[in-house]
Amino acid sequence: MILDGAKAFSNQTLEVDYCIIGSGAGGAFAAALLSERGYKVAIVEEGPYQQTEDFKHMRESRAYPELYQELASRKTKDKAINVLQGRNVGGGTTVNWTTCFRTPDNTLKHWRENFDLPFTSENLARHFEFCEKRFSISPWEIPPNENNSILAKGMKALGRDYGHISRNVKGCYNLGYCGVGCPTGAKQSQLVTSIPKALGLGAILAPRWRAYRLAHQFGRIKRLEAYNLPGLGNTSGDIKLTIHAREFISSAGAIGTPALFLRSKLHDQSGLLGKRTFVHPTVISGAVFEDEVQPYLGAPQSIYSDHFLWQEHGFKLEVPPVHPVLLASTLMARGEQHRELMLKLNNLQVCIALQRDGFSADSIGGRVELNSDGHPVLDYQWSPAMGDGFKNALLAMGELQFAAGAKEVLPIHARGVRCHDFTSFKAHVDTLSMKPLDIKIVSAHVMGGACFGVDQARSVTDLNGRVWGYDNLSVVDGSLFPTSIAANPMLSILGHTHRIFS
């Protein structure tokens, strides 16, 4: 049963066992696991229900407004960080770049020592193994495209470590357009795995409805109230969907879940709801090569390096796909310089550095707030020390790009200029401010804001995602994590979903 809010003409009421808000990695997987156990499940999703055949166009101009939060223009409160998040059936799994990492050992160690969380690589292994088998997650065996090969070549030339990324694909055509929706169905997203499984077992899918409020009384959620979203953007309609359920699960993401709870005025003894919300603040370095790179073709991410990850304010090195709209909106150049760089797209290679956040006293993350319309806003500021991490990351990327044979390297910064050797590049980067709006910061990963824990004075939920003080409300998404993951978080979310519901 599909109950599309964009086509609704009258108020609707449903009664189910489980009401799940959000259809990304946590929500859709939970829906499938619960449906397999015979429960009646309803899945509420803000975005549209588009399927594989809807992605044949492979066009950014359609995908970004249709499949991403705020038409792919979501930013932090001060506009200093671009936040790419999926908003569609399948959530971020529909539009991500298929990069899969287990939660790093050092992250789990930090959680044990600082948050008393009991998780280890050993006791999580069976959950990750289950997810890897179910969603076809395995090392990518096809040779990396040139864009990724340059990262490997540069790190090897410098004598530094790099590795190969596992991807959740089956029969991948190696096209490189994962971010606009897989046109072949090879990406094993929740859209083509858990959602069909749940629907086949009788689940109800309600796309294009905004979960606005959880009505509650005496520590129990009574109902969800949602409103239809008839078009693109954030404007909701007046048609109401009311869902009564035995259990409610929020999987709306690390911005959406805190926002829903804040709108619902849930009691939070810890005072942490919406706080300690983390991204992986990501800086960018572009390089021009003599030979063609064609950074828009081939598996988008297949090589990475953790060489710098566990130093202070460390960072993970990866490579993004580079498509025209993504490039044009990321460059901080103007006029003729912007045009010239766009014309060099075929010869352009890009590295990104994802800084881990939440591991030191001065990295406290951001805070989810509500604006006057009840929409969420992430207030996020970084410390001067984190700015030093950004500078180190730019230097590391520039060095490896020159080592791989780059003709020129450009730090993506408001005052960045192209340099033709590493000596001049290093001197140039040393002069650059790392203040908000000066340096380009992006992120596709949001975590925290409703962290799990063993003490209700220091966490929003217990270890199984049950919200303290509410006997039928749980969280299963990236907002559970007390810090950033220090790796792409999809597999971590899937693993904890299986741990909780298996």
pLDDT digits (tens, 9 = 90+) for 110-137: 999 999 999 999 999 999 999 999 999 9
pLDDT tens string 2-59 = 999 999 999 999 999 999 999 999 999 999 999 999 999 999 999 999 999 999 999 9
- 490-501 vs 25-36: helix crossing angle, rounded to 10: 30
Mean residue pLDDT of the chain comes to: 97
Query: What kind and span of H or E run contains 443?
Result: strand 441-443
**pLDDT band at residue 235, thresholds of 50, 70 and 90?**
confident
Assess contact for 304 and 317: CB atoms under 8 A: yes
Tokens found for residue 335: 């006029």
Tokens of residue 408, six digits: 């020129």
Q: Which band of pLDDT confidence, cut at 50, 70 and 90, is reported for residue 233?
A: confident
Task: Name which of 282, 287, 317, 283 is nearest 410 in CA terms.
Answer: 287
Judged against a pLDDT cut of 90, whether residue 231 lies above it is answered with: no
Which residue, 437, 472, 445, is CA-closest to 19?
472
Q: Where are the alpha helices (DSSP H) in 379-489?
A: 384-403, 422-430
pTM of the shown model = 0.97
N- to C-terminal Cα distance for the chain?
Answer: 25
Q: Which of helix, strand or coil describes residue 123?
A: helix
Are the C-beta atoms of 361 and 491 separated by less than 8 Å?
Answer: no
Asked if 477 and 24 count as a contact pair (C-beta separation under 8 A), the reply is: yes
**Residue 178, φ and ψ in degrees, nearest 5:** -55, -35
Place of tokens 């030339």: 157
